[in-house]
Amino acid sequence: MKRFGWLLFVLLIIYFIFLIRQDIIDHLDLKRDRAKMLTALETEKTSTSLLNRRLSELKSDDMIEELARTKLGLIKKGETAYKVVK
């Protein structure tokens, strides 16, 4: 009976070691995933700030005028437009 008790105790210890081992592996995986997510978050924050800066530039009257002149070929009243043909 005493031998059976020791065997049960050893098996119980081995079982808990395997449980703890899996928790440690899961914990390390979660830490790795967290580091990746933080890096991705910083990248997205940088991208967002660049896009917000670009948006504020595009909302300015000077930029709107420049885009209208270059993309649409618009001119102001009293100006003469010239088109270079090759």
Residue 2 corresponds to which amino acid? Answer: K
Domain chopping of the chain, boundaries:
2-27+36-72
Question: CB-hemisphere CA count at 13 Å for 69?
Answer: 13
Q: Is the pLDDT of residue 83 over 90?
A: no
- Which phi and psi (to 5°) does residue 83 adopt? -120, 125
pLDDT of amino acid 79: 83
The DSSP code sequence of 10-60 is HHHHHHHHHHHHHHHHHHHHHHHHHHHHHHHHHHHHHHHHHHHHHHHHHHS
Q: What is the pLDDT of residues 12-22, one digit of tens each?
A: 999 888 889 88
Tokens of 82: 């010239």
Q: Is the pLDDT of residue 1 over 80?
A: no
